[in-house]
Amino acid sequence: MKKFLKELAMIFAVILLLVIVINYSFGKNYYNHYELQYKEIVYPKKKIDGIILGTSHGTHGIRPDVLDSLGFGFYNFSMNGGNPEFYWNWYTNIFAPCHPKPAYCIWATDWFLFDTVWVWRQYEQDSEYFPDSTFYANVKSGNYNTRSLVLNRIPFTKYKSIKDLPNLFRKYDESQFLISKYKDGFLPYWPKKIEQFRNRYVNKLKDIYKISPWQQHYFEMLVRRMMSDGIKVILINTPEYASKDEEYKKIITYNYLESFAKKNDIPFLNYNLRNRGPINDDKNMFTDWGHLDDEGSKQFSEILRRDLDSVINLTR
């Protein structure tokens, strides 16, 4: 028995040692754009007057450095799959307690903003980047999924799929996101795959997207909370390729956003309907149907800067 237990303990010790090495390597060397976005909140390098929230369409479509010429400092905190519930938790637990309040929030909404299949991000999945105090407070509160908070906090358990393994030997993965071009929360999305997405997108648009009242509730709550914190909220959405009026006018989410914006006196710049322009029909500006590419993001950010200029002047 002694021999058996001794050998078992030795094997477990080797496994544990390897786990520690892997954990250290992932934790210290490897990073992605989410980590940089969270770092900016806790250790700000830039004076931020305006924050940008949204999904991946926002992350890869809006360049804060272009908007900065308005005379304000912007930072893009849009995150892939970011839904209203996620942002409510992000704002109340991380942003508001750790960062000075900005003057403006540009929320890059989408027609699938309230569909939790499309916008899948869970607050707990980012626990790796939370400040220690926030993490322990979240665990203690019992309001969040403790298992998910803990597993996502530890790099070894977070990066557990085989496709994560090459990241042991590199600083970042650029197969989808060009982290080397990261600037104030923005980074380009590539490679281009616009053709293959078109049909799928149209089908989904017509039939599949759902509206979760739960997400709508969080959306309204967060907008009102930011307004009560003195932040001026501006709703926009980023251009999608070949968006057609007859299709997009039917979208319930847009009707809801329009009436919500009107009711709360919030500007809403819809770049797929009222504010749509030639960029929407230029295939060369897109990585896929909904994500602007490097060049598209530059051109769109210029358009947005121009439109925001008049909106901000109106609200100033």
Nearer to another protein, 19 or 252 (CB): 19
* 165 sits near another protein (criterion: CB under 8 A): yes
* 169 sits near another protein (criterion: CB under 8 A): no
Of 9, 11, 20, 208, the residue at the interface with another protein (CB under 8 A) is 11
Nearer to another protein, 14 or 20 (CB): 14
Contact 2, 96 (CB under 8 A): no
Nearer to another protein, 21 or 252 (CB): 21
Question: C-beta of 162: minimal distance to another protein in Å?
Answer: 5
Give the ranges where the chain is alpha helix by DSSP (H).
2-28, 33-42, 56-59, 64-67, 84-89, 96-98, 132-141, 146-153, 155-158, 194-203, 213-228, 245-248, 252-263, 294-315
Nearer to another protein, 161 or 228 (CB): 161
Question: C-beta of 11: minimal distance to another protein in Å?
Answer: 6
* 160 sits near another protein (criterion: CB under 8 A): yes
CA 176 from chain center: how many Å? Answer: 15
* 16 sits near another protein (criterion: CB under 8 A): no
Strand order in the sheet with 104-109: 74-76, 50-54, 104-109, 232-237, 268-270
Which amino acid does the sequence have at 187?
L
Nearer to another protein, 7 or 295 (CB): 7
Nearer to another protein, 7 or 195 (CB): 7
Question: C-beta of 173: minimal distance to another protein in Å?
Answer: 14
Q: Which letter, b or e, does each residue of 195-205 get, where b requires 16 or more Cβ atoms within 10 Å of its Cβ?
A: eebeeebeebb
Using CA atoms, how far residue 138 sits from 124, 141, 186, in Å, is 9, 5, 28
269 three-state secondary structure: strand
* 1 sits near another protein (criterion: CB under 8 A): yes
Question: C-beta of 247: minimal distance to another protein in Å?
Answer: 24
* 162 sits near another protein (criterion: CB under 8 A): yes
* 207 sits near another protein (criterion: CB under 8 A): no
The residue whose two tokens read 């307004």 is 227
CB within 8 Å of 71: residues ≥ 6 apart:
none
Nearer to another protein, 15 or 20 (CB): 15
Applying CB under 8 A, the site for another protein has a residue count of: 15
* 8 sits near another protein (criterion: CB under 8 A): yes
* Whole-angstrom distance, CA of residue 187 vs CA of residue 172: 13
Percent of residues in the chain assigned helix, strand, coil, to nearest 5: 55, 10, 35
Span near another protein by CB under 8 A; candidates 8-16, 124-132, 271-279, 300-308:
8-16
DSSP letters, 152-171, are: HHSHHHHS-SGGGGGGGGSS
Output the CA torsion sign for 303, 305, 311, 313: negative
* 206 sits near another protein (criterion: CB under 8 A): no
* 18 sits near another protein (criterion: CB under 8 A): yes
Question: C-beta of 167: minimal distance to another protein in Å?
Answer: 12
Q: Which residues bind another protein (CB under 8 A)?
A: 1, 3-4, 7-8, 11, 14-15, 18, 160-165
